[in-house]
Each structure stands twice: as structure tokens, then as C-alpha cells.
Amino acid sequence: MKKNKEIITALKKADSHLKNVIKMIEKDEYCVDILQQNLAVIGLLKSANNKLMEGHLNTCFIEAIKGSNKGQAQRMIDELLRINKKVQ
């Protein structure tokens, strides 16, 4: 699936940038340069998270909402609300 490749790519890039941030801190490099690299990590993680959410909404969530099990649908909605609170 194309989305999975995009998610994996974003996470691998974030991992690489994070390792670079750690090295920069260990070398006591300039704070603003470290901050910029750290923001790149955050951006990549947010991108991966958004793609994960999009995939979930377009698969699992739609199936639960369309299904006849209203309890399952409500659990899915509750899960998304809990996740949304953590994102804010």
C-alpha cells in the first residue's frame, strides 16, 4: 500500500534526524541549529501520524461505522476522541 511506504519513509527520516539532533547536543552545537533539526523531527512525526490517522479513518473506522454493531462504532468514535485529545 502506498500510504504505508509514505509512513515508513517519514518515520525513517524522523529517526535519522533524531539521531542527528542527539549528536548535535552531544557535540554542544549551536542551540538554534539543534532546534531547527528538532522541529524537522516533529514535522516528520506529525506527517506520519496524519497518514496513520487517514488510513485508519478510510479503513477500520468506515467499516465500524457502516457495520451493524453500534457498540463497535461508538468504541471507534471514543478511540478517536481520546487520540485527538493527545494530539492537542
Q: What is the pLDDT of residues 28-78, one digit of tens each?
A: 999 999 999 999 999 999 999 999 999 999 998 998 888 888 888 899 899
The predicted model scores a pTM of 0.81
pLDDT score at 14: 95
Fold (CATH) for 2-87: Methane Monooxygenase Hydroxylase; Chain G, domain 1 (1.20.58)
Rounded-to-integer distance, Cα 54 and Cα 35, Å: 28
The one-letter amino acid code at 87 reads V
Across the range 11-25, mean pLDDT stands at: 96
pLDDT of residue 87: 78
Domain ranges, ordered by start, for the chain: 2-87
Q: Phi/psi of residue 6, each to 5°? A: -65, -40
Q: Residue 29: what pLDDT?
A: 98
pLDDT for 1 equals 47
Other residues' Cβ atoms within 10 Å of the Cβ of residue 1: 8
